[in-house]
Amino acid sequence: MTTIPTEPIGSIPRPAYLLQAMRAYTKDEISSADLARLYSQATRETIISLERTGSPVISDGEQTKPSFATYPIHGALNLGAGGVVIPFEDGHTRQLPVLTSGPFRYRNFAVDYLREARRHTALPVKQAVISASAMSLLYPAAGIDGYPQAQFTADLLDQAESDIRRCLHEHAYNVQIDFTEARLALKLDPGRGLLQQFIALNNQLLGRFTAAERGRIGIHTCPGGDHDSTHSADVPYTELLPLFFQLNAGNFYLEYAGEKDKVSVLESIKAHIRPGQRVFLGVTDVLAPRIETPEEIRDLLLQAAEYIPLNQLGSTDDCGFSPFADDVSTAREIAFEKIRARVEGTRLAEAAL
């Protein structure tokens, strides 16, 4: 039977007790040991629930990440306010910090989340990391005295490489680089210069790995997902994909279920995907509360199979369900049911093909 691989993107909404504990910790109301215990409990419960969906590959649900974007620098002392502001369509914003002095170093590495997840399951575990291009936004436009941007970039690439390589060495099923700023780059700079800069930087990073290693490295992109709002859904995929597939990775995880003009997306994928690249199409809309039926997901994949060779097709979710820890716009139970529908719908598509 034809096999269509299926994987999650990453984050699952945190349980209420964990969110309460995270707030309490910032107020010095509980100890770091108490918080660590609850992190482990939430990770274990999340993995058990993911296993029950039938998903053949799982993640830790990012239960211990404060944010998918800033986990490496959480708690760093050489950061200040006033970084890049990311505006969302509903009017709310997220703001990155800004580096105030060198050197640039990760304080937290994704391998620690991977190790914790693997304690609780025998299934393959994928691990998400943040892109080098997203971290590049931390360097201030005015520069830093005594720490030139060229040195920052060299340090950034070293740290990002270590983040990925440690996960590969720790037997991650694969490593997914979150490149959600790709479409946003086109919104900020329609001339494509910023996106080309981002892709060049990420390819510098990918060039540090062998072809075999890059086969276990993937790139995820979406128009953002926070409080059921996006930051760049108005940017057509056809503007992004010709450059996106220039990234030298093996797997590509694309938001798709939320797209209105799906045929144009499929045609663009067909035109620009390269041999050896696999596209995991998002078949669950993480911003919509309605749970897709397995049959709906089957039909999405059957249509995609008319454009994408079967050996280059996979399924996933549009995005993480809660990339920022405080985002509770999606119920935890709904996230698991959507994943269950994705798994079942993918199996139905396999049977039909």
The average pLDDT across 157-180 equals: 98
Residue type at 121 in one-letter notation: T
Q: Is the pLDDT of residue 217 over 90?
A: yes
Report the alpha-carbon distance of residue 45 to residue 51 in Å, rounded.
10
Q: Is the pLDDT of residue 1 over 70?
A: no
**pLDDT tens for each residue of 28-81:** 999 999 999 999 999 999 999 999 999 999 999 999 999 999 999 999 999 999
Structure-block tokens of residue 143: 């520069």
**pLDDT tens for each residue of 221-257:** 999 999 999 999 999 999 999 999 999 999 999 999 9
The reported pTM is: 0.96
Report the alpha-carbon distance of residue 53 to residue 333 in Å, rounded.
11
* Mean pLDDT of all residues belonging to the chain: 96
pLDDT tier, 130 (very low <50, low <70, confident <90, very high otherwise): very high
Residue 274 CB neighbours (<10 A): 10
In the chain, where the domains are located: 16-352
Return the half-sphere exposure (C-beta side, CA atoms, 13 A cut-off) of residue 195: 24
DSSP assigned state of 103: P
Q: Give every CB contact of residue 4 below 8 A, 6+ residues apart in sequence.
A: 301, 310, 313, 314, 315, 346, 349, 350, 353
16-352 sits in which CATH class? Answer: alpha beta
Q: Measured over all CA atoms, what is the biggest interatomic distance in the chain, rounded to whole angstroms?
A: 62
